[in-house]
Amino acid sequence: MRGQIDIESHWSTIQIMRTRILTALPVYNEVTHVAGVLHELRQHVDDILVVDDGSTDGTSAVLQHFPAVSVIQHKPNLGYGAALSTAFDYALQHKFEVLVTMDCDGQHQPQYVREIASMLDLTAACPIDMVSGSRYLKNFESDTAAPEDRRQINARITGCLHEQLGLSITDAFCGFKAYRVSALAKLDITDRGYAMPLQLWVQAADLGWNIREFPVPRIYLDETRSFGGSLDDASVRLAHYRAVLNTELERRGMVQRFTSDCGAAATR
C-alpha cells in the first residue's frame, strides 16, 4: 500500500540513530586512498577514528586536513592486529555502543557502515555480538576476482574454522565488521599482525558470541599489496596462520592440533 510504513524497519532506523557508533580504520601507508575514503565516510557517520600505524608515505600529513576525525598514531609500525586492538580499547574507553571497523584501501564501501551497524540490535534479548562482512556470501555486479593465493588461503582457513569451531562463515579475513562494544571487553588479543582475526574467531567461539555475516562487494584495487617480508610467500603465510590458530586453540584449551590438510576441501 502506498505510503505504508514498515514499522520494523522504521524502528530499527530510529534505534541505530540513537546508538553511539564509532567507525575505526587501521591505516598504514594509504596516502593514495585515505582522503577519498574519509571524505565519503563523513557523509554517512559522525564519529571516526583513524589508527595511523606508523605510516611513512605522507598519510599522516593528509590526516591533518581532517580535524573532525580522531587520530591515534603508532610509532613505529606495530601491525594490523595492534591497530585494531587500539581501536577496540578506544571504543571501550569512550563508551561507544557499536564499533565498525573497515579498511582504508578502497575495498570497503562507506555507504554500508550504517547498514552493517543496524544489524546489532542492542535491545534484543540475545543481541548480536559481531557482524562480519563476507565477500563470498553474495555476488555483486562490482565484484572483482580475488588474487588466487588469497582466495585459496581464505577458503582453507575458513574451512578450518568450520571444522574446529563449528563456525558457519564464508570469509575468515574480511576486515569490515561491526561489534557490540561491551563484548570487546572480554577479548584478549595478543597477535599484532595479519593473523589477528584468527585469534578473534577462536575467542568469539569460546565466549559464545552471537555472530552474523553481512554480504559486501569483493573489490581488489591492488592485487600486489605486500603482507611484509616472508608472508608474501603464500605457503609461508598459510603455515603462519595455522600456527597462530593452533596456538590460540591450545591457549584456550579448546581442541587438538589440525591435520596438515585441514580445510583443504574448502571451495569458497
Q: Is the dihedral of CA 54, 59, 61, 63 positive or negative?
A: negative
φ and ψ of 45, to 5 deg: -140, 165
User: In this model, does residue 1 exceed pLDDT 50?
Assistant: no
Report which of 263, 196, 265 is spatially closest to residue 227, judged by C-alpha positions: 196
At 257 the pLDDT is 61
The CATH code that applies to domain 7-251 is: 3.90.550.10
User: In this model, does residue 261 exceed pLDDT 90?
Assistant: no
At 268 the pLDDT is 30
What is the per-residue pLDDT across 198-236, written as a single tens digit (0 to 9) for each? 999 999 999 999 999 999 988 876 656 677 778 889 999
Q: What angle do CA 93, 98, 103 make, to 5 degrees?
A: 95
User: In this model, does residue 155 exceed pLDDT 80?
Assistant: yes
The region of weakest confidence among 8-22, 175-189, 247-261 is 8-22
Q: Which amino acid is at 143?
A: D
φ and ψ of 61, to 5 deg: -70, -40
User: In this model, does residue 139 exceed pLDDT 60?
Assistant: yes
β-strand 130-134 against 21-27: which pairing, if any? unpaired
The residue extents of the domains of the chain are 7-251
All cell numbers assigned to 145: 576476482
Q: How far apart are CA 158 and CA 70, in angstroms?
A: 33
User: In this model, does residue 40 exceed pLDDT 70?
Assistant: yes
Using a 10 angstrom Cβ sphere, with 0-12 exposed, 13-18 middle and 19 or more buried, the burial of residue 241 is: buried
φ and ψ of 21, to 5 deg: -115, 130
pTM here is 0.87
Contact status, residue 254 vs residue 206, Cβ threshold 8 Å: yes
User: In this model, does residue 262 exceed pLDDT 90?
Assistant: no
Contact status, residue 87 vs residue 79, Cβ threshold 8 Å: no
